[in-house]
Homo-oligomer: A and B are copies of this chain.
Amino acid sequence: MTAAPRTLDLTFSALADPTRRAILLRLMRGEASVNELVEPFHLSQPTISKHLKVLELAGLVERRRDAQFRPCKLKAAPLQEAWRWLGDYQRFWEEAFDRLDAYAKELHRKELHERARGEKSHGSKKPKRR
């Protein structure tokens, strides 16, 4: 299943704002009304509502029509699509890690080699104490 480009546009765009990411993080713990979201963020109710509209449009938040306080609920499906899209690049960051790992090993090997040479030349000048 591949996400439609438009879906990914809306998802990534919604996630590009720290307040919206914080709202999703809050909704991880369970449903919340707009008022419950306003308090911890120290933002005005219209600002929170504006962010919620962006999240709703991206299908990341759902608001129950029936309940009086219209609680907001996290919808994770678009996050999964975005996660899958990013997962296609996994081999690139793994390659980068492998290169870094190989470089660190090479440095370590050189260091051991230098130390061994140093000990040898040091040893040739001064006889070993014992």
> What CA separation (Å) do A32 and B6 show in the bound complex?
26
Q: A8-B21, A13-B16, A16-B12 are in contact. Are A82 and B86 (CB under 8 A)?
A: yes
Asked whether A48 is an interface residue with its Cβ less than 8 Å from the other chain, the reply is no
Copies in the complex: 2
Set of chain B residues within 8 Å of A89, measured between Cβ atoms? 24, 28, 74, 76, 79-80, 83
- The distance from the CB of A126 to the nearest CB of chain B, in whole angstroms, is 46
Set of chain B residues within 8 Å of A67, measured between Cβ atoms? none
Asked whether A114 is an interface residue with its Cβ less than 8 Å from the other chain, the reply is no
Asked whether A36 is an interface residue with its Cβ less than 8 Å from the other chain, the reply is no
Check B79 against A86 for contact (C-beta < 8 Å).
Answer: yes
| Interface core residue of A5, A12, A18 (most chain B CB under 10 Å) | A12
- Segment at the B interface, from A90-98, A104-112, A117-125: A90-98
- The distance from the CB of A61 to the nearest CB of chain B, in whole angstroms, is 12
Check A12 against B9 for contact (C-beta < 8 Å).
Answer: no
Set of chain B residues within 8 Å of A96, measured between Cβ atoms? 76-77
Asked whether A38 is an interface residue with its Cβ less than 8 Å from the other chain, the reply is no
Binding site for B on A (CB under 8 A): 5, 8-9, 12-13, 15-18, 21, 24, 28, 74, 76-77, 79-80, 82-83, 85-90, 92-93, 96
